[in-house]
Structure 1
Amino acid sequence: MQAATLSGRTALVTGSVQGIGHAIALALAGAGARVAVHGPADDAQAAQAVTDMRAAGAEDARAFVSDLRDAAAIEAMMDAVEGWGGADIVINNAGMQRTLRFAEIDAGTWNDILAVNLSAPFHIMQRALPGMAARGYGRVINIASVHGIVASVSKAPYVSSKFGLVGLSRVAALEYADAGSRDAGGVTVNCICPGWTETAIIEPQIRERAAQHAGDRDAAIASLLAEKQPSRRMSRPEEIGSLALWLAQPIAHNVTGAAIPVDGGWTAQ
């Protein structure tokens, strides 16, 4: 267990019953934060996520299952979090992706991806940031993507949402840059932009590529990495968690408005 550097802080992590969000939530829990986990989970999955947080060192943990496509559901979730003391740290991690050529995208897919990946972070940030500013400390860490920096084919809604999330984060960072102080920790808004990372969201792309390699999953992954990521190795979710934990601490008071790639050199090309 890490030193309780976030003891007394409350963190809301969307999309945290699995993958990157779960790893970030565990990192914050290990630093002593109270953690609000969130995701499309059944009762057993939600209970397990809460148990995981407490086992990692969280002072307390609660689960929320709000549909992030629904602004009213987001408002209800934020009301509940404020009733719990308010979010000092917000990690907007929940995301949707579908790979479709431009001409194949239907309105429902477009609307759902933009709602979860961009509109939901906006609504959550709009509710959380004023309280952070009033307390003099707050962290918003939006999990964007390498696709918030560069584009790829067959990902128009996803790329649009992630470019938008980077821009939204920069505006919020500017508006709240002078809140708080160095000693209090200030209020910062940043994006982490992962490249290929070992999560469920990339499985459809792996399966599609595997079909081109006689069903060989390892060959499919190697092909995807060789195409984009010069390091030719994936990141692990807990590596993203460690970066988020650093950004959440007072030492990062002057890191704001950044979009930090974790992409093995993808965006350096």
Structure 2
Amino acid sequence: MSINKVVDSAALAVADIPDAASIAVGGFGLCGNPMALITALLDAGARDLSIVSNNCGVDDWGLGLLLGAGRIRKMTSSYVGENKEFERRYLSGELELELTPQGSLAEKLRAGGSGIAAFFTQTGVGTQVADGGLPQRYHPDGSIAVASAAKQTQEFEVNGRMREFVLEPAISTDFALVHALRGDRHGNLVFNKSARNFSPLAAMAGRVCIAEVEELVEPGQIDPDAVHLPGVYVHRVVEVGGDIEKRIERRTVRTGAQGAN
């Protein structure tokens, strides 16, 4: 029996994402951003979204497009330093932020996709990550409206020493959006180098995963050993082609005598 998960367009792929949906989105900086799906979601008009992603793009690209249009209610991220609109909305009380250590964010997504409710980690012990008090939302006057709650901690013996760990809940979302280099009609995906980043983990965490692929191939054309994400995690596939725009967050070059060997 053949399972064909291909849909005709990005617009059709995201058409049922409702207001107030939670969405895990792949990408690191601007690398691996599912731009066709983000743009289609922007055009669809869904609002009050709760987004889980390493960062929120920049002001005019990536998730920054949704943010600038006022479509995002909450971000769960590990890095927010490249987006001025993000700073403005967060400090003015228009945006809620759950700031999460990067490794913990990755593991929370993986755990959510693996059916694991929570896990213990040493990351964040002795800080506001564990103790609570991190500002998640501000009042317009700059006072804290919502602060993070304290998390459960517990000691475990590790290599003969008792160490303290903090309990981190897993993350699962209503939808996931990812970009892949190649995919087949069954949803098996291959990511390109560092564009792999958070994408497999975000895909695992979404109850409905939508993948845009640069190249669509037939089942069997991807070597099983080359598959980065099995199709069991993917529900819809959209071919976007290889000529899509891919921006660089910061380009640094040397010119003149500095660049000469």
Q: Same fold (TM over 0.5)?
A: no
- Bigger RCO of structures 1 and 2 (CA < 8 A, at least 6 apart): 2
Normalising by the smaller structure, the TM-score range is 0.3 to 0.5
Structure with bigger strand share is: 2
TM-score by length of structure 2 reads 0.34
Structure with bigger helix share is: 1
